[in-house]
Amino acid sequence: DADVTQTPRNRITKTGKRIMLECSQTKGHDRMYWYRQDPGLGLRLIYYSFDVKDINKGEISDGYSVSRQAQAKFSLSLESAIPNQTALYFCATSDPGTEVWGYTFGSGTRLTVV
Amino acid sequence: DAKTTQPPSMDCAEGRAANLPCNHSTISGNEYVYWYRQIHSQGPQYIIHGLKNNETNEMASLIITEDRKSSTLILPHATLRDTAVYYCIVRDQTGANNLFFGTGTRLTVIP
């Protein structure tokens, strides 16, 4: 099983619909992140959480919300999806307690808003 | 966090060394240089990181200039599976502990 699992892998939704992307991890990491990637561009940070009680906005949080249900789960919601939210979404985890502050990414959720 | 500048694309012959440059002229003393790569829309994968000294692991080598204003990622014997977008990231150890990705370098390994 993957260390960081994202569901669904692909989703097509209509404008105005509410949609939730889910992320779960088995790494035991406290820190979790949601990024979005548009074609030909790098990843941009949407929200991040350093522990269950901590939620922080990233550089492009407008139109998104998150929920950290447990250490292992971090969900991203689009309350009212719009076409320019069509993108590839990645969840990631990290553990600052380790010497190598590497991030572990999920396989991504490809979201299309029509 | 300091910004980085990378060439948008590079080609490398299979079996040859791939040298990917990165400029980070505004790097501060406590910032590390990280390299990640992303293979065809998969999640980015950590490669290597360093502060001052050159580093080597099973995937690559990282050469950091003495003034730390630039670095080079070296894949010693590039294979077709190394075709990917490579991101050079400079990150502060304080604060939000986030990684800021630019557009990276698209490396194409040619048979």
Contact B93, B51 (CB under 8 A): no
Dist. CA B41–CA A44, nearest whole Å? 14
Task: Specify the pLDDT at position A67.
Answer: 97
Contact A48, A36 (CB under 8 A): no
Q: B32 to chain A: which residues are within 8 Å by CB?
A: 101
Residues A112, A39 contacting (CB under 8 angstroms): no
Alpha-carbon gap, residue A74 to A43, rounded angstroms: 18
- A105 versus B30: the higher-pLDDT residue is A105
Structure tokens, A49: 């959480």
pLDDT at B97 over 70: no
The shortest C-alpha distance from B71 to chain A (Å) reads 19
Please give the Cα distance from A108 to A87 (Å, whole number): 10
pLDDT band at B29 (very low <50, low <70, confident <90, very high): confident
**Average pLDDT of span B86-97:** 74
For residue A48, the chain B residues in CB contact (below 8 A) are 96, 98
- Range among A26-40, A50-64, B24-38, B61-75 rated most confident: B61-75
Determine the Cα angle at B103 with ends B98 and B108, to 5°: 125
Give A59's DSSP letter: T
Q: B31, B101, B105: best mutation site toward chain A, by most A Cβ within 10 Å? A: B101
Mean pLDDT by groups of 10 residues along chain A of 114 residues? 90 97 94 91 89 92 96 96 96 73 88 97
Residue of A103, A107, A109, A111 to mutate, interface with B, max B Cβ within 10 Å: A103
Q: Edge-to-edge strands of the sheet including B9-13?
A: B9-13, B105-110, B84-92, B31-38, B45-50
Percent share of chain B, pLDDT over 70:
92
Which pLDDT score is estimated for A98? 58
CA distance B72 to B21: 4
Whether the per-residue pLDDT at B1 is higher than 70: the answer is no
CA distance A107 to chain B (A): 5
Instruction: Please count the residues of chain A.
Output: 114
End-to-end CA distance of chain A: 32
Better pLDDT: B41 or B82: B82
- In chain B, what residues touch A104 (CB-CB under 8 Å)? 46
Among B59, B89, B98, pick the best mutation site for testing chain A contact (most A Cβ within 10 A): B98
> What pLDDT was estimated at residue B94?
56
